[in-house]
């Protein structure tokens, strides 16, 4: 079969890690955290919360985009998190 027509197997969301990068007192970060916590609870994905004020490298990379969501280390979203889009990134239709 041609590689163009092969489907890659769906990944198990429970094997994924969602990282939320934000800062204390950020309203958008609080809203994003609610969405991300809900999707992670629903799908079984692991959640890591990072405080941008405690990491110089994160601050350098993402300061103007917070909150930032990474899925398995790759940037997925920033500012506003769409729960359906996050579910799809985790392999849930």
- The model's pLDDT over 10-54, given as tens digits with 9 standing for 90+, comes to 678 889 999 999 999 999 999 999 999 999 999 999 999 999 999
- CB of 39 closer than 8 Å to CB of 83: yes
Tokens representing 73 are 């280390």
70 pLDDT more than 80: yes
d(CA 74, CA 18): 9
Say whether the peptide bond before residue 67 is cis (omega within 30 degrees of 0).
yes
Higher pLDDT, 56 or 7: 56
Give the mean pLDDT of the chain. Answer: 91
pTM summary value: 0.85
**Residue 10, SS3 per DSSP:** coil
Q: What single-letter DSSP state applies at residue 1? A: -
d(CA 53, CA 43): 29
């Amino acid at each position: 079969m041609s590689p163009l027509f092969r489907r890659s197997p769906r990944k198990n969301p429970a094997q994924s890690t969602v990282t939320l990068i934000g800062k204390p007192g950020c309203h958008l970060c609080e809203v994003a955290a609610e969405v991300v916590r809900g999707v992670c609870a629903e799908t079984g994905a692991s959640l890591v919360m990072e405080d941008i004020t405690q990491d110089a490298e994160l601050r350098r990379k993402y300061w103007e985009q917070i909150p930032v969501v990474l899925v398995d280390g790759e940037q997925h979203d920033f500012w506003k998190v769409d729960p359906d889009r996050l579910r799809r990134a985790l392999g849930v239709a």
